[in-house]
């Protein structure tokens, strides 16, 4: 079984509206609908689990009666762990995706599934095109080497048992799932993430998404 997990339990603090950003409209649909529909169109995804805030569980279940809708936790990590615990016993692989990335394509998901045949983890990541500096307390402490820096997107795909165990051990507090793994112990493949696979984080990103929608 391959399970798709759509994370949508955040409150969108940086977005700054009362309505969590994943339920905002992007044209005629909610942001979350885009990822759900793309995952639904992949025939090798056998089940979809959607994680939402408690108060959205009923509404999203009614909209998507075929999928399992569960409540998330206070952090992304907790929400992801909640979904992993609800996966069926015979789950082989999981793909974990941020609902805040509506432009995820079928081709990326299929590449992840294919790469899982020879890897325990597959991440979608993009080379940094900006120079990144490290700043602490307003002071620049390091200029990073741009060619060594990549920006992680989602989905991230894993052998189920490996990522479930990493969540159980919880050796880190992380903003993605891959960061919970011991990188040297795992065979991981990096798939190049396209620029358009943006995460809607601020209101400005929603404007960029609206512009992108007409040009993809």
The single residue among 79, 93, 120, 156 that binds ligand CTP, judged by CB under 6 A, is 79
Interatomic CA distance for residues 94 and 216, integer angstroms: 27
Interatomic CA distance for residues 198 and 216, integer angstroms: 13
User: Minimum CB separation from ligand CTP for residue 18, in Å?
Assistant: 13
Instruction: From 94, 99, 100, 75, select the one nearest 170 (Cα to Cα).
Output: 75
- State which residue, 187 or 210, has the beta carbon closest to ligand CTP: 210
The dihedrals phi and psi of 18, each to the nearest 5 degrees, come to -65, -35
Interaction of residue 193 with ligand CTP, rule CB under 6 A: no
- Partners of 163 in the β-ladder: none
The single residue among 46, 61, 75, 152 that binds ligand CTP, judged by CB under 6 A, is 75
The single residue among 5, 8, 60, 163 that binds ligand CTP, judged by CB under 6 A, is 8
The single residue among 19, 25, 74, 133 that binds ligand CTP, judged by CB under 6 A, is 74
DSSP class of residue 155? E
Contact stretch for ligand CTP (CB under 6 A) within 10-18, 57-65, 118-126, 207-215: 10-18
The single residue among 1, 46, 63, 73 that binds ligand CTP, judged by CB under 6 A, is 73
Contact stretch for ligand CTP (CB under 6 A) within 40-48, 69-77, 119-127, 155-163: 69-77
Q: Report 97-156 residues binding ligand CTP (CB under 6 A).
A: 98-100
The single residue among 46, 61, 128, 201 that binds ligand CTP, judged by CB under 6 A, is 201
Q: Report 29-48 residues binding ligand CTP (CB under 6 A).
A: none
Number of residues that bind ligand CTP (CB under 6 A): 22
Interaction of residue 72 with ligand CTP, rule CB under 6 A: yes
Write the burial class of residue 51 (CB in 10 Å: 0-12 exposed, 13-18 middle, 19+ buried): buried
User: Minimum CB separation from ligand CTP for residue 75, in Å?
Assistant: 5
H-assigned helices in 41-173? 57-63, 76-85, 106-115, 160-169
Sign of CA dihedral 3, 4, 8, 13: positive
DSSP class of residue 42? -
Listed in sequence order, the residues at least 6 apart from 133 whose beta carbon sits closer than 8 Å to its beta carbon are 140, 142, 143, 144
Residue 142's SS3 state is: strand
User: Where do contacts with ligand CTP occur on this chain (CB under 6 A)?
Assistant: 7-15, 22, 51, 72-76, 79, 98-100, 199, 201
């Amino acid at each position: 079984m391959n399970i798709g997990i759509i994370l949508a339990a955040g409150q969108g603090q940086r977005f700054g509206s009362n309505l969590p950003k994943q339920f905002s409209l992007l044209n005629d649909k909610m942001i979350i609908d885009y990822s759900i529909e793309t995952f639904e169109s992949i025939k090798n995804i056998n089940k979809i689990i959607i994680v939402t805030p408690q108060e959205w569980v009923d509404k999203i279940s009614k909209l998507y009666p075929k999928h399992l809708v569960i409540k998330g936790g206070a952090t992304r990590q907790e929400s992801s762990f909640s979904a992993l615990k609800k996966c069926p016993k015979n789950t082989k692989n999981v793909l974990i995706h941020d609902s805040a990335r509506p432009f995820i394509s079928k081709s990326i998901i299929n590449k992840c599934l294919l790469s899982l045949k020879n890897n325990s983890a597959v991440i979608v990541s993009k080379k940094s095109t900006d120079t990144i500096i490290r700043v602490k307390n307003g002071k620049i402490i390091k200029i990073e080497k741009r060619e060594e820096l990549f920006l992680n997107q989602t989905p991230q795909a894993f052998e189920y048992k490996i990522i479930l165990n990493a969540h159980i051990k919880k050796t880190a507090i992380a903003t993605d799932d891959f960061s919970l793994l011991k990188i040297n112990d795992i065979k991981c493949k990096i798939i190049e993430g396209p620029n358009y696979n943006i995460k809607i984080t601020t209101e400005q990103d929603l404007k960029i998404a609206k512009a992108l929608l007409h040009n993809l």
